[in-house]
Amino acid sequence: MQWKRITAVTATVMLAAVACGSPSSNSGKDGANAGDAGTAQEKATDATAKGPAPELDGAKKGGTVSILADVSPDTLDPTNIYFTDTNQIGKLMYRALTQYRLDGDSHKPVLVPDLAEDLGTKSADGLTWTFKLKKDIKYMDGTPVKAADYAYAIKRSFAHDLYDAGPVYQDEYFKDGKTYKGPYGPNGANYSGVETPDDNTLVIHLAKKFDDLPYYAAFPMFTPIPQAKDTKKSYDLKPMTTGPYQVDSYTPGAELKLKKNEHWDPNTDPVRYQYPDAFDFKFGQDTLKVQRQVLASNGPDANALNYSDLDSSLVPEVKDQSQLVTGPQPCTTVWGLDTRKIPMEVRQLIAKAYPFDTYRKVAGLTPKSAIPASTIMPPAVPGYEKYELPGLVGTGKGAEDPAVASEVKAKLKELGKENFELSWYYANDDKIATQVTQLRTQVYTSAGFKVKAIGVAKAKLRTFRNDPAAPVNIGQGPSGWCSDWPSGASWFPVLFRSDAVELSNSIGMLQDKTLDAELNRVNGLTADEQLKEWPKVDKMIMEKYLPLIPLYYSASNYPVGKNLGHVINDPTQGLPEFTSIFLKQP
Amino acid sequence: MTIGSPDSTVGIEEHPASAEPVRGSAVPHGKSPTRVAVDRLRKDRVAVVCAGVVLFFILVAVLAPLLTKIEGSDISTFHPEFVDEYGFPTFAANAQHWFGVEPKTGRDNFARWVYGARPSLVIAFVATLSGTIVGVVMGLLAGFLGGWVDRVISWLVDFVLSLPYLLFAIAMVPIVESMRGGSFNLSPEEQASTRFFVLIFVLSFFGWAGLARIIRGEVLSLREREFVLAAKAIGVPTRQVLFKELLPNLVAPIVISASLALPAYVTAEAGLSFLGVGLIEPVPSWGQTIATATNWFKADPLYLWLPVLGITALVLALALLGDAVRDAFDPKTRR
């Protein structure tokens, strides 16, 4: 899953208050316990979970929760949702076949049936999955949900020319996934991958075994969509919702207002609640401004939250630690090295020279939101095994140490790669990005490399990075990855198989037949066997290919208003779990 | 009204200086308005102090490399050891870092402050100079030649004044970058310098039009005066009439407009950099520093106050000096 998209927001923080006489060095140390990368999530399932979800202590009905987001989602179309924040917003509106229930104090995610009666039954050969569907489910306008609507939603997900941002596992695993192009073409109605033998059964045919399908079925992509109401690209303005809330008004990029869906039946839903009367999302806000507002919790701001990590400059302003929600995120941030353009020996030297310590400070990473990483998979992914390769532990001075710099320089000379050119894109209108680039340039120049950093506008950065043919050799593709579901299968095949290069998902642009074969072999194993194999693959990739430098595992650390109750971190996405929030004083 | 410089021999007798107090017998002839104004300025205490402040900032900017050398630091070295793991500086100021260090990066505040004076002053002075030259030439031509030249230039002035200045400043950057070979082929330093020159260009481009209009008006009234008509009648070439006869009479409006433009440009540069469309890293500038420092104003007030103080003092001094200059040149001012 990709990270919530960061859109350009010019810093226009006002000189609102006058500096008080506090000393310049900080007071952020109190209560500074390192962030929590979490422990491995087990693949827990509960196929018998039934609604309604148990009442929460002290929960009250009513009021409006406002969510002040500094990012602006591109789309709320269920088929096109792939970012963690839209996924979480989608959970309020769209019910899918399955869903995660967060159990206990550690909020352990457990996969439970949502609109399906169970978690699906697979055939003996593993290529046919049958989902029994719940009866008497209604859309927000009162019309009944039909099995055909589920099938239509799946067909719709193949129309990548219209929905280019959504997840694409169906292409690989579903029957005819590589050839079927969605329901809109001349032959669109005929797709043999889904069947609806009766009105509460959905059958999915696969091209190859996909034991994680019930997890995949938790994506909003699997929410029912009635064909008659499909308005294609503008569907997200007035989507047919099955969850506890429906769209009241939506101005893309600016505001989303949700109101209650009266036809949502809590008795069918084991996960969601419907405490507040409405949700009001405001997008594209100024990060520092809204975080300060939320922390101050004056008037309506007490009912607000922001889901970006608290800016380090605001640490001294946190008076009440309970206003910070912390928890693990299943994400790792990395610095990709193009294996096609940089030889292995040079990649090792780049990793050796990386100035982790200074990078963390310059980039504003705090111990609470960024835990030094040494592996590709973060600890939150099942099967994670910690290993540390020398120099790749997420901390250290790298070539800022003159001894290391001269050592790297000498080795480059030995290899005949003096002044090896490193090039990457960065956002030249983002101050942090330019400072990080300055740091990297200084350090790598001192270590004998030649650096060419190409500044582009922040708004265009993603387009440039996603071009596999870009004329740079560092940092293409995603700059980090989050689990799509708790398994290495949503990491390694997606990121490191040859076909990932074409899909702009590749980190390191690996196109290696041996690695492809190994990834396919592990991917074909049973879930339990995979659990043991993925960490080995993790280590093998880092030792043998080094397609990336792991920088940090991210952890949640976001500010919430004082009047919000039961704001918990959803460890499957690293965001607040919106559906269980209530107002203490509505 | 005098013509030419004070030591010129032309028409001394016919033109006693109008705003001039009665001079002693030792003074052989009238002073020019410029001389009068300078004399007045010298007596104006505010003007002298302000000139001192401006001179101080000019010296700081010119001597920036020397000053940082004395302090023993530079603008670009990162000092992570001086900030804690949350990015806050671990000390306020010490002997090695007189003004402390920047949060997160640990770069030296003093070095960035003295170097930050440079773009402000260079941009303001260069933009004022080029804007004034263009404005004066255009105004002279329009006013003196009249006819189609006047119409074209006046139209141009109106056109420039109607252009949206902020949009222009933002839109120029990518255009100039692509002219210099596209952003792909430019290093961060080259991109930053592009912004620098674009800022100068934009400010002078929008600065000349107002002045041209004022000069044109002045020239219109001057060109019907006897001395101009006489010069024309005896066949003095147009160029000479413009620059030898008319220009000396325009010194006052030119000096006034320039001295008022300077502080405006300093503020404009800082404002655009604050908004992120002016100068960018790695060029240090006060506007940028203020933009970042506002996030840290509680933890590191010095980081914010230094550039704020710099801009305020410089702009205030320039503005008061401009006022004093205008007063000094204005014959109606009585002291």
Contact (CB<8Å) B188/A431 = no
Residue whose C-alpha is closest to residue A215's, from A537, A488, A481, A504: A488
Provide the pLDDT for residue B21. Answer: 53
Nearest to A20 among B275, B298, B304 (CB): B298
* Residue A288 with chain B: CB contacts under 8 Å: 295
pLDDT digits 0-9 by tens, B240-259? 888 888 888 888 888 888 88
CA distance A244 to A259: 9
Q: What is the CA radius of gyration of chain B?
A: 24
Averaged pLDDT, A369-383: 88
Provide the pLDDT for residue A203. Answer: 94
CA distance B181 to B244: 44
Q: How confident is the model at residue A313 (pLDDT cuts 50, 70, 90)?
A: confident
Residue whose C-alpha is closest to residue B263's, from B53, B111, B102, B79: B53
Q: How confident is the model at residue A282 (pLDDT cuts 50, 70, 90)?
A: very high
Contact A580, A273 (CB under 8 A): yes
Least confident of A294-298, A347-351, A436-440, B184-188: B184-188
Contact A24, B91 (CB under 8 A): yes
Please state, for a pLDDT cut of 70, what percent of chain B lies above it. 88
Q: How confident is the model at residue B102 (pLDDT cuts 50, 70, 90)?
A: confident
Q: How confident is the model at residue B180 (pLDDT cuts 50, 70, 90)?
A: confident
Provide the pLDDT for residue A271. Answer: 92
Instruction: Give the helix ranges, DSSP H, for A447-526.
Output: 458-465, 492-496, 499-502, 513-523
Question: Would the ipTM clear 0.85, i.e. be above it?
Answer: no
A402 touches chain B (CB under 8 A): no
* Residue B292 with chain A: CB contacts under 8 Å: 11, 431
Q: How confident is the model at residue A97 (pLDDT cuts 50, 70, 90)?
A: very high
Q: Decide if pLDDT at B4 tops 80.
A: no
Provide the pLDDT for residue B26. Answer: 52
**What residue in A sits closest to B100 (Cα-Cα)?**
A24
Contact A113, A100 (CB under 8 A): no
**What residue in B sits closest to A30 (Cα-Cα)?**
B86
Provide the pLDDT for residue A481. Answer: 87
Provide the pLDDT for residue A2. Answer: 55
Provide the pLDDT for residue A275. Answer: 94
How far apart are the CA of A576 and the nearest CA of chain B, in angstroms?
A: 23
Q: Which residue out of B82, B86, B98, B283 would a mutagenesis test of the A interface target, given it has the greatest number of A Cβ atoms within 10 Å?
A: B86
Contact A71, A412 (CB under 8 A): no
Nearest to A361 among B87, B100, B297 (CB): B87
**What residue in B sits closest to A431 (Cα-Cα)?**
B281
Least confident of A56-70, A426-440, B143-157: A426-440
pTM of this structure: 0.76
How far apart are the CA of A556 and the nearest CA of chain B, in angstroms?
A: 16
Contact A365, B86 (CB under 8 A): no
Residue whose C-alpha is closest to residue A308's, from A261, A255, A369, A223: A369
CA distance B179 to B280: 19
A20 touches chain B (CB under 8 A): yes
Contact (CB<8Å) A316/B276 = no
pLDDT digits 0-9 by tens, A520-560? 899 888 878 888 899 999 999 999 999 999 999 988 889 99
Nearest to A428 among B83, B280, B288 (CB): B280
Q: Decide if pLDDT at A285 tops 60.
A: yes
A396 touches chain B (CB under 8 A): no
pLDDT digits 0-9 by tens, A12-39? 222 222 222 223 333 333 333 445 555 5
CA distance B37 to B331: 9
pLDDT digits 0-9 by tens, B51-72? 999 999 999 999 999 998 888 8
A423 touches chain B (CB under 8 A): no
Q: How confident is the model at residue A297 (pLDDT cuts 50, 70, 90)?
A: very high
Angle at CA of residue A417, ends A412 and A421, nearest 5°: 105
Residue whose C-alpha is closest to residue A120's, from A202, A58, A183: A202
How far apart are the CA of A545 and the nearest CA of chain B, in angstroms?
A: 28
Nearest to A10 among B89, B187, B275 (CB): B275
| Rounded alpha-carbon distances, angstroms, from residue A158 to A46, A176, A430, A504, B67 | 30, 10, 36, 17, 65
Provide the 10 A C-beta neighbour count for residue B180. 15
Contact (CB<8Å) A361/B275 = no
Q: Decide if pLDDT at A135 tops 50.
A: yes
Averaged pLDDT, B273-277: 82
Least confident of A217-226, A386-395, B148-157: A386-395
Angle at CA of residue A239, ends A151 and A561, nearest 5°: 120
Least confident of A279-283, A496-500, B297-301: B297-301
Q: Decide if pLDDT at A272 tops 90.
A: yes
State the DSSP code for A474.
B
Averaged pLDDT, A129-145: 92
Provide the pLDDT for residue A482. Answer: 85
Contact B51, B321 (CB under 8 A): yes
pLDDT digits 0-9 by tens, A429-470? 777 888 899 899 999 999 999 998 888 877 778 778 878 788
A26 touches chain B (CB under 8 A): yes
Backbone φ, ψ for residue A83 (5° rounding)? -85, 150
**What residue in B sits closest to A287 (Cα-Cα)?**
B295
CA distance B120 to B262: 10
More confident residue, A406 or B277: A406
Selected residues 457-496 of chain A with any CB under 8 Å from a CB in chain B: 471
Q: Which residues of B touch A (CB under 8 A)?
A: 76-78, 80, 83-92, 100, 103-106, 183-184, 186-188, 191, 275-276, 280-282, 288, 291-292, 294-305
Averaged pLDDT, A78-102: 91
Contact (CB<8Å) B85/A360 = yes
Averaged pLDDT, A139-147: 92
Averaged pLDDT, A162-172: 85
CA distance A531 to A529: 5
Provide the pLDDT for residue A466. Answer: 78
A17 touches chain B (CB under 8 A): yes
More confident residue, B135 or A38: B135
How far apart are the CA of A557 and the nearest CA of chain B, in angstroms?
A: 13
Averaged confidence pLDDT in chain B: 83
